[in-house]
Structure 1
Amino acid sequence: MKRLVAVGFEGSANKIGVGVVTLDGTILSNPRHTYITPPGQGFLPRETAHHHLRHVLPLFSSALEEAGVTPADVDCLCYTRGPGMGAPLQVSAVVVRVLSQLWKKPIVAVNHCVAHIEMGRVVTGAEDPVVLYVSGGNTQVIAYSEGRYRIFGETIDIAVGNCLDRFARVLTLSNDPSPGYNIEQLAKKGENFIDLPYTVKGMDVSFSGILSYIEATAVEKLKKKECSPADLCYSLQVCTPSPIQSFFLEA
């Protein structure tokens, strides 16, 4: 029986990646490259798209070579249709459309959020999970019911990932390999807990208050040397799980 092979392109934010997988979820290759900006700066759509344009074809060649597949082995081409940043998303979409014309292969447009959930199901083997979806642009509790994914609770302003990214920019932490990772490493050196405000509204949560406090009051504490950047990272890590956990406490 012939194995079904898909080549997927992901470029919704600052990472561009090309993966080759089989129908049963076996990952044959997954090379990727991240657009790293200077500390204190975020990634803008235009510059991010230029980064993806520079790296997508070399990554594509590496993915096929590592997986040991040829165009004849490929059954379909997949790409992230959205949600994500418009300009970076267009890079993958254009490449996939060109390859589809050249190779005469069907295209599968993928929802970014659903893909995260489905990857988690494949890796864990979970059959019908209640999902806590925490990414750069999403903080949601999701479950599958009556043929579709349904949201039971979510952030009403910014996502945890966005909060961490903006917090890292306030402290001018490096984006390499990622803001969240560097926050976690610095948090290990923190000693003083600073109480940060957060809001829970039923099954929904808010993180903008945490970020606003850090951008204003907490930064003043840094100037007065009443706390250290490590203390702020430690406090943020301790504080941000609380509203996430409240999803399940409310449920």
Structure 2
Amino acid sequence: MPRQTILGIESSANKVGVGIVTDDELIANTRATFHGAPGEGFRPTEVARHHQKILPELIEAALNQAGISESSDVTAIAYTRGPGMGAPLQAGAVAAQTLALSFGVPLVPVNHCVAHVEMGRSVTKSANPVVLYVSGGNTQILTYARNKYYILGETLDIAVGNCFDRLARVLKLPNEPSPGYSVEQEAKSGTKLFPLSYSVKGMDMSFSGILTQITAQGKKLMNGKDTRWSKADLCMSLQETVFAMLVETTERAISVANLNTVLIVGGVGCNKRLQEMMRIMCAERGAELGATDARYCIDNGAMVAHTAALMYQHGVHINPYSGADYTQRYRTDDVNVVWRNDVLT
């Protein structure tokens, strides 16, 4: 098979990225982030406008970084089909279709969650791990079997990253580089644990009650009505509680799946405290931990391009003239993982 070069566009949330990969190398990875003001979140329409404005610049920068000057050097264009926020997804899909039509190459629609998993597997060399996928919009525990990533456990309501984002908003923490990062840094100086509920239901978790408790206390602190717990205390308390839940359910998943490797992916996967707690659990069970840094665990175009390369090699692509559809709901276990043919024992 001739050498292939895939350009991938990620645009499912407030980060937009363009990555380019060949058969065996990442040759470009550009990214930009839409930030709201401290104390505010972001609206999908605002994010979409940001992506539409900056995507041409990111695409040009990625092509220059990769040393690509001719459209004939590109094999296919990939984009995030979902899940994510509708308007930002549409911005990426339109850009990808336009580029594919201009270059005269196929389109490869990619599942955002699976892209995180495949990028993590590639970077950490984790062949067949139990995957903890934690981000602003998703919290899932996954394992592979029979060409599917099956969900062993997941959040029953909101994602872990959403909890961090909402607490950061209440405490007026910086949104740059990310609310979760601000919570992580604040938590390092926390000393006093604020009591929170602990809601694990078998392999699943619930975070909405914890969020209600921690944000209510945060509002009391910011209004001066109850200052017994500082910002740092509240951030530390939220982290320790929800990470303990994640470690417990992941440990149970290792036992159920009879595997000895854990891979953490998604934006929250960058958190050093989560990695530390998971590493302790893995060491106690004789398991290995795979984790990445912000280059790959935070949403990026490289993960879309990398996953698309695997898909394209196995004939998964579409004609750009047929459109570039997108969907806000696209479950991880909806994807037929045709590129994996592991013999599992």
Opposite residue 17 of structure 2, the aligned amino acid is G
Farther off after superposition, 193-202 or 170-179:
193-202
8 Å contact kept, 1:198–1:209: no
Structure-2 residue corresponding to 1:161 = 161
Structure-2 residue corresponding to 1:48 = 47
8 Å contact kept, 1:11–1:91: yes
**Separation of aligned partners in 2, 1:217 and 1:185:** 19
Deviation at 1:96, TM superposition (A): 1.2
1:70-92 Cα distance to aligned partner (Å, 9 max, x none): 32211110000000111111111
Q: How does 1:177-196 map to 2 (within 5 A)?
A: 177-196=177-196
Structure-2 residue corresponding to 1:27 = 26
Over the residues paired in the alignment, what is the CA RMSD in angstroms?
1.3
Deviation at 1:188, TM superposition (A): 1.3
Q: How does 1:123-202 map to 2 (within 5 A)?
A: 123-202=123-202
1:160-192 Cα distance to aligned partner (Å, 9 max, x none): 011111111111111100011111111112121
**Separation of aligned partners in 2, 1:101 and 1:248:** 43
**Separation of aligned partners in 1, 2:221 and 2:35:** 29
In the alignment, does 2:232 pair up with 1:233?
no
Q: Partner of 1:31: helix, strand, or coil?
A: strand
8 Å contact kept, 1:5–1:76: yes
Deviation at 1:129, TM superposition (A): 1.3
In the alignment, does 2:241 pair up with 1:242?
no
What is the TM-score when the length of structure 1 is the normalising length? 0.96
Structure-1 residue corresponding to 2:290 = none
Deviation at 1:214, TM superposition (A): 1.2
**Separation of aligned partners in 2, 1:220 and 1:92:** 40
Q: Partner of 2:140: helix, strand, or coil?
A: strand
Opposite residue 228 of structure 1, the aligned amino acid is S
**Separation of aligned partners in 1, 2:146 and 2:73:** 35
**Separation of aligned partners in 1, 2:193 and 2:154:** 26
Q: How does 1:69-84 map to 2 (within 5 A)?
A: 69-70=68-69, 71-84=71-84
Structure-2 residue corresponding to 1:60 = 59
Distance 1:95 1:248, change over 3 A: closer
**Which protein has greater RCO, CA pairs closer than 8 Å, 6+ apart?**
2
**Separation of aligned partners in 1, 2:217 and 2:97:** 49
Deviating beyond 4 angstroms after TM superposition, the runs of 4 or more aligned structure 1 residues are: none
Opposite residue 63 of structure 1, the aligned amino acid is A
Q: Partner of 2:149: helix, strand, or coil?
A: strand
**Separation of aligned partners in 2, 1:122 and 1:250:** 24
1:5-41 Cα distance to aligned partner (Å, 9 max, x none): 10000010001111111122x2111111100100111
Normalized per residue, the structure richer in strand is 1
Structure 2 unaligned runs (5+)?
A: 254-345
Q: Partner of 1:234: helix, strand, or coil?
A: helix
Opposite residue 174 of structure 2, the aligned amino acid is S
Deviation at 1:250, TM superposition (A): 3.2
**Separation of aligned partners in 2, 1:248 and 1:20:** 32
Deviation at 1:221, TM superposition (A): 5.0
Farther off after superposition, 221-230 or 32-41:
221-230
Deviation at 1:198, TM superposition (A): 2.2
- Between the two proteins, what is the percent identity of the paired residues? 52
Structure-2 residue corresponding to 1:104 = 104
**Separation of aligned partners in 2, 1:218 and 1:56:** 37
Farther off after superposition, 66-75 or 35-44:
66-75
Deviation at 1:220, TM superposition (A): 2.4
Opposite residue 28 of structure 2, the aligned amino acid is S
Opposite residue 129 of structure 2, the aligned amino acid is P
**Separation of aligned partners in 2, 1:54 and 1:40:** 24
Structure-2 residue corresponding to 1:215 = 215
